[in-house]
Amino acid sequence: MPNMLEGKVAIVTGAGNGIGREIAIMMAGQGAKVIINDVGASLSGEGLDATPAQQTKAIIAQNGGTSEICTDSVATWASAQKIVQSAMDHFGRIDIVVNNAGILRDQIFHRMTPEEWDAVIAVHLSGSFYVSRAAATHYRAQQSGSYVHMSSTSGLIGNFGQANYSAAKLGIVALSKSIALDMARFGVRSNCIAPFAWSRMTGSIPAETPEQKRRVERIMRMTPDKNAPLAVFLASDAAKDVTGQIFSPRMNEIFIYSQSRPIRGIHRGEGWTPEMIEEYALPALKPAFSALERSGDVFCWDPV
């Protein structure tokens, strides 16, 4: 059976560790030539170190795959252009973009600083736009291409102390849908993955109370490699009819998410006053309200 990505060229951002590394390794194993993009920063986005990317490249080489390293940042327009250009310079084309790079600056909302907000938005949301937009020119010219963006249940459902991260990750969902709509005419697809895995990005989850400890134990069972098969599939021609969707791999489970749609409405021919909304609309609509839940409340069972 031929490799699913034979002849394709992939960019995987944040490929020096965790989920990004596992995706890069599996994509190379499935025949893709891979650009390993990673600046080698700390979890909070500080410092530069080529070692993580070099380690990923070494693993790919040991497995007989082909890859090159690009250490430019996703967080500016100019550097994102360089990331895509590195694929063109090394391999002559670009077929797959995996927007995985990310940092954390967790903070309870009333203490969050503009710097904490801007740093996270720059890498996750703006970075996904910059790299995707840089590739779009080539995708349009060749009439093909696939995007796989990393979202999060922190954005799709909610979490404490992550207003910056949650906003960026939900923004990525809207970005992906817009790309899917705008570029379908060129044979381009765009999908999101909300991954579950124990990695640097989840290693800061508190584990002090018995409940928190049980949650962390569940997450630690979900290794980063469990997300790679779905990313490979979505990037492949086997997923040619899959676009604009949101998936979650959770150990050996795969979920697809609903997307925002009206679920209940009420009409009043003469219009509304605030008082009438209180008296009539609120009682009618309240049964359809969404609960104030976090990811752990929704995914409350052990991964299987």
Buried b (16+ CB within 10 A) or exposed e, 111-129: ebeeebbebbbbbbbbbbb
Does residue 165 have an active-site annotation?
A: yes
Backbone angles phi, psi at 150, to 5 degrees: -90, 115
Backbone region of residue 102 per phi and psi (left: phi > 0; alpha: psi in -120 to 50; beta: other values): beta
Tokens, residue 29: 């194993």
Q: Are 143 and 82 in contact (CB under 8 A)?
A: no
Distance in Å from the first CA to the final CA of the chain: 28
Tokens, residue 224: 């980063």
Compute the distance between CA of residue 77 and CA of residue 130 in angstroms, rounded to an integer: 5
Q: Are 166 and 124 in contact (CB under 8 A)?
A: no
- Residue tagged active-site, from 130, 139, 147, 165: 165
Compute the distance between CA of residue 240 and CA of residue 243 in angstroms, rounded to an integer: 8
Residue type, 139: Y
The set of catalytic residues is: 165
